[in-house]
Amino acid sequence: MIIMKFGGTSLGTAESIQNVLRIVRDRVDLDPVLVVSAHAGVTDSLVELGRTAPSGDADVSKIEDFHRRLLEDLDLPADLLDEQHGEMADLVRGIKLVSEASPRTRDLLLSFGERCSSRLLAAYFNQQGLPAQAVDAFEVGLRTDNNFGRARPIADDGRIVENMVKIEGIPIVTGFLGCDPDGNITTLGRNGSDFSAALFGNALDASEIQIWTDVDGVMTADPRLVEGTQPIPIMSFGEASELAYYGGKVLHPATILPAIDKSIPVRVLNTHNADNPGTVILPEYEESNSPVRAVVHKNDIHLINLVSPPMLQQHGFLAEVFRIAEVHEVDVDLVATSEVSITMTADRADHLPAFCEELGELGDVSIEPGHAMICVVGQGIASHHGVAAQVLGTLADAGVRVRVISQGAIKVNIGLVIQEVDLRKAVNALHAHFF
C-alpha cells in the first residue's frame, strides 16, 4: 500500500477536492491510505479561536460557514458536519465560561480541523462512487505523550495495523492528531500531518509515502529569488535535512524520520500538476554525476564576533560560549574560530542583545546585522574535487565578498555568509554555475 498525504492547500476549495479525487482514483490500484490536513486556513482560525475565546469574543461561525460553503459547492448534505460543529461550539462556550484554555483544551479545539476535513472528503469520495471511510488517528492507535501542542509519538505496538485492516474502502485518516495514554486528543505541532503520514507509513509498511502539496517538489533554489530553478528529481535524507533548515519549506526532514527508519521512499508531489514526477527522498542513493543538489539561503543573519586574547591556549572556552547561547536560546548555525576569535551566525535578533551582553564578559563582542547565509548542498561534494573552489571562484567573479566559510568533514554542504545586499546576485551566480 501507499500513503497519500494531502495538505491544507490541496483541500482548500471544491475544485482542489475534485482534483484530489481524480488523483486518488488514478492510483486506487496502489491501495492508498490517505492522511489529510485541515482545509487551508482552518487550523489558523482554530488557533485564533483558542486565543480569543477565554476573553469572550470568539466566534465559531467563520469556520462553520467555511465548511458549509464547501459542502454546498460539492453537493454534500448541509448537516454532514453538524455533530463536529456542535461539539466545537460547546467547547468554545466552555472556554468562555471558565475564561481559560489549557493546552489540552486547545489541542481538542484544533482537532476539529482534521476531524471535519477527513469526514468531508470521505463523504465526497463515496458520493463519487469511490468507497472511503473517515478515520480518526486517535481512534486507531496513534498514541503520543501528553505534551500538548507538540506531542511526541509513543512506539506503535501493532495496534495501528490491527485497526486499519478493519477499515472498509479507502481510509481517510486525520493528520496532525494523536491521543495520550489517558485518551486525550493531542496534536503533533503545526504542520504535523507530514509526520502523521510518516508514522502511518511506518506502522503499515507502506511502499511509498506521497506528500501532495502545491509545488512541483523540492526546488534547486528559491524560485522567488533565482531564475531557472528546477525540481530536484532525487535526493538523500541528509541533503533534504540541510535544505529544510535553509527554508526549503516543502518538507521538514524530522517529520519523515519514521519513513527513513524503514527505508520507505518519500515523494513530494504537486496536487495542481499531478503528472509531474516530483522529488523523491531516499535514505541514500547512488551518486549522480553532478555534485550539487541545491543552492539555498537564509536571510536576516547576524554575524557575532568575539575577540578574546585569553582564549589562547585555554580549554572550555567554546563550551562557555555555547552555554551562554543555550541560556539565551540563541541558535548558532555556523561557526568559525581561530586562536583568539570566534565568529558565529544567529537568527534570533530579539535575543541577541542579552546574549551579546553576557558574551561581553569573555571578550570584545561586535554584532553585524544585514547578512545572509548561503548553503550549497549535495552529498556529491564529498567525492568531487574542487567544489569549494568553484563556489568561491563563482562568487569572486560575481563581485561578492565572502565573510565566513564553513565546510564540515562530512561534506553534505558548503556554508557561506555574505552581505544581504549581495544575496540575489550571489545565489543566481551559483545556481547558474551548478545547474
Q: Judged by CB, which is closer to ligand ASP: 93, or 249? A: 249
Stretch of 10-18, 35-43, 295-303, 367-375 lying at the interface with ligand ASP (CB under 6 A): 35-43
Name the β-bridge partners of 134: 172
10 binds ligand ASP (CB under 6 A): no
CA–CA dist 90, 199 (Å, integer): 31
CB of 178 to ligand ASP, least distance (A): 12
Number of chain residues interacting with ligand ASP (CB under 6 A): 12
Q: Judged by CB, which is closer to ligand ASP: 7, or 231? A: 7
Query: What angle, rounded to 10 degrees, do the helices at 103-127 and 61-73 form?
Result: 10
**Dihedral, CA atoms, 281, 387, 433, 396, nearest 10 degrees?**
140
CB of 144 to Mg ion, least distance (A): 19
Q: Judged by CB, which is closer to Mg ion: 7, or 113? A: 7
Out of 141, 175, 178, 253, point to the residue binding ligand ASP (CB under 6 A). Answer: 175
Binding mask 40-59 for ligand ASP (x = CB under 6 A): ---x----------------
Q: Which helix (H) or strand (E) holds 343?
A: strand 341-346
CA–CA dist 366, 341 (Å, integer): 11
Q: What is the largest CA-CA distance in the chain?
A: 75
Out of 16, 19, 37, 174, point to the residue binding ligand ASP (CB under 6 A). Answer: 37
Stretch of 76-84, 185-193, 291-299, 363-371 lying at the interface with ligand ASP (CB under 6 A): 185-193
7 binds Mg ion (CB under 5 A): yes
113 binds Mg ion (CB under 5 A): no
Residue 38 interacts with, from ligand ASP, Mg ion, none (CB under 5-8 Å by kind): ligand ASP
| Closest to 110 (Cα-Cα) out of 139, 149, 69 | 149
88 binds ligand ASP (CB under 6 A): no
10 Å CB burial of residue 338 (0-12, 13-18, 19+) is exposed
Q: By the 8 A CB rule, do 431 and 229 touch? A: yes
Footprint of ligand ASP on 355-394 (CB under 6 A): none
Out of 18, 163, 184, 191, point to the residue binding Mg ion (CB under 5 A). Answer: 191
- Dihedral sign of CA atoms 286, 291, 297, 301 in order: positive
Sheet holding 294-307, edge to edge: 332-337, 341-346, 294-307, 364-377, 413-419, 402-407
Stretch of 131-139, 188-196, 200-208, 291-299 lying at the interface with ligand ASP (CB under 6 A): 188-196
Q: Judged by CB, which is closer to ligand ASP: 10, or 343? A: 10
Query: What angle, rounded to 10 degrees, do the helices at 61-73 and 14-25 form?
Result: 50
Number of chain residues interacting with Mg ion (CB under 5 A): 3
Cα three-residue angle 183-185-191, rounded to 5 degrees: 145
Which residue shows C-alpha cell 476539529?
A: 112
List contacts with ligand ASP (CB under 6 A). 7-8, 37-38, 43, 113, 175-176, 190-193
